[in-house]
Amino acid sequence: MNALLDLKQVAAAYGASRVIAGLDLAVADGGITALLGANGAGKTTILRAICNMRVRVTGELSFSGLSIAGWQTEDIVRLGIGHVPDGRGTFVHLTVAENLALGAYTRRDRAEVAADLDRVYGYFPRLKERVAQQAGTLSGGEQQMLAIARALMLRPRLLLLDEPSFGLAPLVVQEIFRILRRVNADDGVAILLVEQNANLALELAHDVYLLETGRVVMHGPAARIAADESVRRAYLGY
């Protein structure tokens, strides 16, 4: 499969402190790639670097064959990259319906948008019960669902997810990951997933990168990584 997202020799820094360097990373079209690593390994920074958000980025970044290095965040997003950042990027003072409308802000195909709205309400029926509610008053799990639904309204080709399981009850996490699998299988949306919960990530992903202090230390199919003795001991605890 061709790489939808391709990073070559990418470095990213906050001011003078460099967080990632010499990073090569690819996400296959229609594939699910997971980034694993301890806190501070640079996983979130990689997602921010892809969207040129808050970090200073150098190196080659291409999306669907197009070089996006140096592009503005909003222009990168418009190519079809739905980003669910850490902190979820929810408009807490706006209603659920308004959040979802904003997700489709760049789209002009009204009929299709309406159809997609029905679809995300189908994925997350709980959001439909709360259309007129202020997003800030939703529970953590509902907010995460809203964030993913908001990103899906862009009709993305690639979904960037920053720890979607963070702080959520196990049942809610299961539900969210079930939806993610469906989105990937049904619509062919590629996913780049950052996750602390290695078990979850290895189950969902096809392809895994292991990061340590800003560098890739291991990369391969999820099954092979999961079977690796040292990985099991370091990340899975058995």
Quick check: 53 binds other proteins (CB under 8 A)?
yes
Q: Which of 51/168 has CB closer to other proteins?
A: 51
- By CB under 8 A, name the one of 20, 23, 51, 180 that touches other proteins: 51
Residue among 86, 98, 187, 228 that touches other proteins (CB under 8 A) = 98
The Cα–Cα gap between 16 and 79 comes to: 30
Among 58, 106, 133, 196, binds other proteins (CB under 8 A): 106
Answer for which of 1, 9, 40, 105 binds other proteins (CB under 8 A) is: 105
Residue with tokens 């009204």: 110
Judged by beta carbon, residue 90 or residue 165, the one nearer other proteins is 90
| Beta-bridge partner residues of 210 | 36, 218
Is 154 a residue that touches other proteins (CB under 8 A)? yes
Q: Between residue 61 and residue 90, which ones bind other proteins under the rule CB under 8 A? A: 72-74, 77-78, 83, 85, 89-90
Separation CA 31–CA 128 (nearest Å): 29
| Amino acid at position 151, single letter | A
Question: Residue 77 contacts by C-beta under 8 Å, 6 or more apart in sequence?
Answer: 51, 83, 106, 154
Helix (H) or strand (E) holding 129: none
Instruction: Supply the DSSP string of 152-214, one letter for each residue.
Output: HTT--SEEEEE-TTTT--HHHHHHHHHHHHHHHHHH--EEEEE-S-HHHHHHH-SEEEEEETT
Q: Considering beta carbons, is residue 74 or 118 the nearer one to other proteins?
A: 74
* Contact status: 44 vs other proteins (CB under 8 A): no
DSSP 8-class letter at 131: T
Name the minimum Å distance from CB 77 to other proteins: 5
Cβ proximity to other proteins, 81 vs 205, nearer residue: 81
Among 62, 86, 91, 133, which residue sits at the site for other proteins (rule: CB under 8 A)? Answer: 91
Point out which residues bind other proteins (CB under 8 A).
51, 53-54, 72-74, 77-78, 83, 85, 89-94, 98, 101-103, 105-106, 150, 154
